[in-house]
Structure formats: structure tokens, C-alpha cells
Amino acid sequence: MNELRLDGNAVAGLLQEVFAVEMTTAIGTCSGCSTAGPVGAAHLYRGAGIVLRCPHCDNVLAKIVKNDSRVWIDLPGIRTLEVTV
């Protein structure tokens, strides 16, 4: 199982494509355990889409699905996202 786990660094390009800012240093606060941490340190699982999970409580922070022309981003577990602009 660990073999399939990466981290938020792996979606840095995709997130920057969408948000037009560097997002791995953005600080996300988990709605499950209230821990705040950089997106780059979140656990990442790849399957049909991408799931980001809280490294502390495993809560699902974000789900990302992409096709050739669109990206769907579901953020069920991020209470706050603090971004350097």
C-alpha cells in the first residue's frame, strides 16, 4: 500500500496549472483534525484520479480528476487554504 502513496509534491504542476500560483507551500487546515500543514506534505494516492489525504488523521482533503480539457477538484476536507500571493 505504501508503494502507491506519494505526496503533494507530485501534483505541484497540475495545481499550478489550475491556480496559477505555487501551491505546495500553501498551508491547508484539515477539517478533520484541525492540523495545518503544507500541501506538499499531504499524502497522495493515484488511481483513476488523485486523492490527497491528511498526513496526521488520513482525512480526505481533496479529490482531483482530470481529462484533456477539464479538471474537477473536490475539497471535502480542507477548512482553510492559506496561499502566498
Partner 1 sequence: MAGTALLGRLTWQLAELVEVVAETPHVKTIVFDVPGWPGHRAGQHVDVRLTAEDGYQAERSYSIASASDGTRVALTVQRLEDGEVSPYLTDELRPGDKIELRGPIGGYFVWEPSEGGPLMLVAGGSGIVPLMAMIRTRAAADDDTETRLLYSTRSQDDVIYRDELERLSGNGLTVVHTLTDSQPPGWTSYARRVDAEMLAEVTPAPANRPRFYACGPTPFVEAVAESLVQLGHDPRAIKTERFGPTGG
What's the min distance (Å) between Cβ of 32 and partner 1?
18
Instruction: Give the list of residues 6+ apart from residue 51 with CB closer than 8 angstroms, or none.
Output: 44, 45, 60, 62, 63, 64
Q: Which residues bind partner 1 (CB under 8 A)?
A: 2-10, 12-13, 16-17, 20-22, 24-25, 38-41, 46, 84-85
| Residue (16 or 80) nearer to partner 1, CB | 16
What's the min distance (Å) between Cβ of 13 and partner 1?
4
Residue pair 55/39 in contact by the 8 Å Cβ criterion? no
